[in-house]
Each structure stands twice: as C-alpha cells, then as structure tokens.
Structure 1
Amino acid sequence: MSILTKSLKEKLKKQLVHHEGLKTDLYLCPAEKWTIGVGRNLSDCGISQHEALYLLDNDIIWIANKLCQEVSWIPTLTEARQIVLLNMAFNLGVQGLLDFKQMFAALEVEDYDTAADEMLDSRWAVQVGKRALELSEIMRTNIL
C-alpha cells in the first residue's frame, strides 16, 4: 500500500518547489550534479523513456511552429516532405536548416530532385551519413 495519497503528494510537491526551486535550465547543484526542474538529478537518475518521449512531443510542436513562422509555405508540402524538413530542423535547428538556401529555392519551384541533391551536397550530409541518405530519398520520392 502506498502512502502517496493525492493530498500528501500535492503538499509535498508544493514544499519541494519551495525548498528546491524550479529551474527550467540545466544547472550544476551544490553537490556538483547536473540538475533540472525541481531538483531532478540528471547525473544519477537521468530521465525515463516516458519523460523523453514527452519532451520529444513538446520539441516537435516547438520546431514545427518555429519552422512555419520562418517559412510560411511549409504547410503546402506533402506530409512526407514536411517530415523531412522537420527532421532536419530538429537536427540542425531552424536557423541551421534555413542555411540550405538552394534546397529551399528548389522546393519553392517543386524541383524535389534538386532539393534532394542539395541536401546531399552539404557538410550536414557528411556528418549524419545514413540519415541524410534516407531523408533525401524521401524528399525525392515523397515516400516515407
């Protein structure tokens, strides 16, 4: 039987936020452990798979909103090609993706072969290898 009633948990949570503080940026605690949130010791505990996927869901929403703010015509692309751009933005950051000027120029005129070639003709493609090959093929064929 658990002692964690809803009331106990809420009172403890309020007290822990008061004592530990709530920090949304990574910091080194006095015990020299990387910490985030309300005293979450990432050095020793890390995060669970569930927590990682929750963060990923939020990151996907953030990156999609940011990319659409920068490139208003992204929603006109097929889902497969949107996924390619979002995947690249997730890896490079939106600003890094926006450096692919020739790829975007090709996308604007629906020249997907050239867009795929531009993806491969980059330092990014060398760095990520198979990922670039897979994503460029999706860009070229529109098949996930």
Structure 2
Amino acid sequence: MSKLVAQLKRHEGVKKFCYLCPAGFETIGVGRNISQNNGLGLSDDEIDYLLENDIKRCKQELIALPWFVDLDPVRQDAIVNLCFNLGMTRLLGFKNALAAMEARDYSKAADEFYDSRWAKQVGSRADEVCEMIRTGRYGEGYA
C-alpha cells in the first residue's frame, strides 16, 4: 500500500456503509462523495465490479444447497437472482419452493415462488424468474 493510500485512509477513515461526512454529503469507502449533488457517484466499471462481487457471494452461499450445483445454468441464474434480491436468509424461507427445486419439480417450484408476497412486490421480475425456473430458458431478448 502506498504512503498516500495509507495517509488518505487515516485522514478520511474507511467506512463500509454510507454515512454523512462533516460537510453533510453522503459518503462511502475512503471519502467517496456519492451524493447526487456534487458527488462522484459510481462509475459504470465500479457498478459492474460490485455486481460481479455480489453475484459471486450469492453463488458461494448457494453452494450450501447440495442440489444447486446440479441445476442447469439458467435455473442456477434464476436462483442466484432470487438470492441477490431476497438475501440468502429470506430465500431459505421459501421451503416448499426449494424442496420442489431439489425434487426437480420445476413447475411446482415456479408456482411456489410466484404465489408469494415477493412476486407481488417485484412484478415482472417474478414473471421472468419463475419462467426461467419452469422452462430452463431465458425469455426473449437475452443472448
């Protein structure tokens, strides 16, 4: 680590969560102003980096479900999408849907996910994810 990096970390502090700096700006990390007004926000590369890390984290958590690794790639993506959106703890609350996934009863699993408060909250996202679970295919518009 360079001397400048060490100095900036010492001066600014290292914050893993958003906070208001003394000047009243939303800040994160090492003094990164992310406010809409006068802030840097995040670059597209930074957003992609964070997203890829979050996807990796979800996949690592999902390895705990022994049947997950045996799913085809599209159904794995659907479960990763659910984990990303809900978090692992809330995803594990879908006991009937996950049992159906493990039994490879994908229609039942899709129905269980679709018949939930989550599906009502996320609208078309639920349509898309449940269809991926049901068919093992992405909808139109995906390569």
Distance 1:98 1:65 in 2: 15
1:127 aligns with 2:121: yes
Residue of structure 2 equivalent to 1:35: 27
* Counterpart AA for 1:17: K
Residue of structure 2 equivalent to 1:25: 17
User: In the TM superposition, what whole-angstrom CA distance separates every residue of 1:47-67 from its partner, at most 9, and x where no partner exists?
Assistant: 111101001111111111112
1:28 CA displacement: 1.6
Give the 3-state SS of the residue equivalent to 1:24 in structure 2. Answer: strand
1:72 CA displacement: 2.3
Structure 1 residue runs of 5 or longer lacking an equivalent are 1-9
User: In the TM superposition, what whole-angstrom CA distance separates every residue of 1:92-136 from its partner, at most 9, and x where no partner exists?
Assistant: 111111111111111121111101111110011111111111111
1:16 aligns with 2:11: no
| More deviation, 20-29/78-87 | 20-29
1:11 CA displacement: 4.4
Distance 1:132 1:53 in 2: 23
Distance 2:8 2:72 in 1: 47
For residues 20-99 of structure 1, what are the structure 2 equivalents within 5 Å?
Answer: 20-43=12-35, 44-69=39-64, 71-99=65-93
Highest Rg: 1 or 2? 1
Distance 2:105 2:5 in 1: 54
Distance 2:17 2:50 in 1: 14
1:106 aligns with 2:103: no
Question: What percent of counterpart residues are identical?
Answer: 50
> Hey, which of these two has a bigger chunk of helix by percent?
1
Distance 1:47 1:108 in 2: 38
RMSD, matched Cα: 1.3
1:23 CA displacement: 2.0
User: In the TM superposition, what whole-angstrom CA distance separates every residue of 1:12-70 from its partner, at most 9, and x where no partner exists?
Assistant: 3333222112222222211121111110011122111110100111111111111223x
Residue of structure 1 equivalent to 2:141: none
Give the 3-state SS of the residue equivalent to 1:72 in structure 2. Answer: coil
Q: How many residues align?
A: 134
Residue of structure 2 equivalent to 1:6: none
TM-score (norm 1): 0.87
